Structure 1
Amino acid sequence: MLGAREGFHGEPGDYARLESSLLHEVLRRRRGLPILLSVVWIEVARRAGAPVHGVALPGHFVVGLGEPGDVLVDPFGAGSLLDRTEAADLVERTTGGPLTPDRLSPAGPLEIVRRVLGNITAWATSRPERTDVALWAAELGLLLPSHPAELRRERARLLVRRGDYLEAAAEFERYAEVVEAVSGELAESVRAEARGARARLN
């Protein structure tokens, strides 16, 4: 219904657009990346009482119907069905390995959010002038219940690139405190980055 009747789908060019990773833009344009289109499908289907879940195949997010592995729907392909052979081919092309049962297990909300933020970060990383978007994605990532500590260092480096040296130094210091128990050498290298950021204030 969402594909054939409402026109929700994806095209190769959507991978180059930031709007394809923003839910409100996907709803407006009815186009986007596989994971955001899948989110729309999942929420609509659940409200209709359908047993659906997200499936985070490597490189291509799809929607599962029923028990894990029963039926796979590709919202990027306007709702086309993805059979086991096609799913296995996709996994093999992306990872070089086979399609294992764990690949078909339902993706939780936190995993979906992390993957969306990863897509936004990847988009911004390939565009050095868009540090604003990269910083936004990093700050959203830090709000998640669990996040890699390294994300603080990434945020600090983005702040340096944007000229916010004082906040960058403070973030470097916070990260150094986190990693000190694991590696004093790493903590000292991070503190050196903090000193470097402060030095640029002069």
Structure 2
Amino acid sequence: MHEDLNRLGLVEEGEIVLDEAALSLALPDHPGTDLAPYHDLLDAMETRLDLVGVEAETPAERAEALAAVLVGEFGFAGDAETYDDPANADLISVLDRRRGLPVSLSILWVATARRLGWSAEVLDVPGHVLVAIGTEAAPVIVDPFTGGVRVGPERLAALLQTGGEVVHVAAMPNRAVLVRLLQNQASRAELAGKGRRALELYIRMTTMAPAYPHAWWERARLEIVDQQIAAARASLSAMLEITRDPDLRRRVTNALDALPTD
């Protein structure tokens, strides 16, 4: 298990296969699970998309083909009824239940499209995640959580208007998508009073995305709560190695100075 996560932390960004990586991140919570049936399901989705989308050339046609296969044939949908269920951010459970969060469903949409060589990206939108199909110049934007409904300019503008300020939508790097997937689980675990479960997920994050300082910070915070002072010191020190931001470095240094001595 740790070998898979360590390997994921070492591979180049462009070499990360989102659906395969998300399965690896979920596996520690399903000890003894054979991933072969899940790989078979992903392959079956690819095969069907290849058939249904054989003549799909434009982004709109490819978005329609993806919806026809993933929603129409395989039944993947957003879980609006039990949105905060941790299973919605666990790809093994998502494949079992055919229900998920915006980020987990977006992983399936993007990964399946990329299997055919189609251009697809996960988009970071305030409070939500969308998918762009096609090139950056003229993509079609869809919402996998609502069955692949097209997101037009007006709705996108409304989503991007937060607190009176307009923010810009951007494609998420592969590791950032996986961090977002685990972050969903970690935040819900902590809200449920399961601090050690949250810590376990932050450890998973820092293993597969060691250059993301936020995960190290949250890991250190929970290690302090759990009285793991030496571990917290190591996590904060790791942050100092990866960030050059002066304000963040000052914050980390202050936190290190505040730790009790052995």
Task: Specify the TM-score bucket, using the shorter chain as the normaliser.
Answer: 0.7 to 0.9
Q: Structure 1 6/159 Cα, relative in aligned 2: closer, same or farther at 3 Å?
A: same
Distance 1:170 1:42, change over 3 A: same
Matches within 5 A, 1:43-122: 43-68=111-136, 70-92=139-161, 94-98=162-166, 100=168, 103=169, 105-122=170-187
Give the drift of 1:30: 0.9
Paired position in structure 2 for 1:33? 101
Answer yes or no: is the 8 Å Cα contact 1:52–1:64 preserved in 2. yes
Q: Deviations over 1:89-121 (max 9, x none)?
A: 1222x4533364xx1x32210221221122122
- The AA in structure 2 aligned to 1:46 is R
| Unaligned segments of structure 1, at least 5 residues | none
- After superposition, the CA RMSD in angstroms is 2.8
Tell me how far 1:63 sits from its aligned partner. Answer: 1.1
5+ residue gaps, structure 2: 1-68, 241-245
Q: Are the structure 2 counterparts of residues 151 and 2 from structure 1 closer, same or farther at C-alpha, using a change threshold of 3 Å?
A: closer
The 4+ residue runs of structure 1 with deviation greater than 6 A are: none
Which residue, out of 171, 179, 186, partners 2:231?
A: 171
- What TM-score do the two structures reach when normalised by structure 2? 0.61
- Output the amino acid matched with 1:127: A
Question: Which of 207, 212, 222 is matched with 1:147 structurally?
Answer: 212
**TM-score with structure 1 setting the length:** 0.77
**In the aligned structure 2, how far is the partner of 1:111 from the partner of 1:176?**
22
Letter in 2 for 1:75: P
Question: Counterpart amino acid of 1:115?
Answer: R
Question: Equivalents in 2 of 1:6, 1:126: separation in Å?
Answer: 32
Structure 1 residue 133 and structure 2 residue 197: aligned? yes
Q: CA deviation at 1:33?
A: 0.6
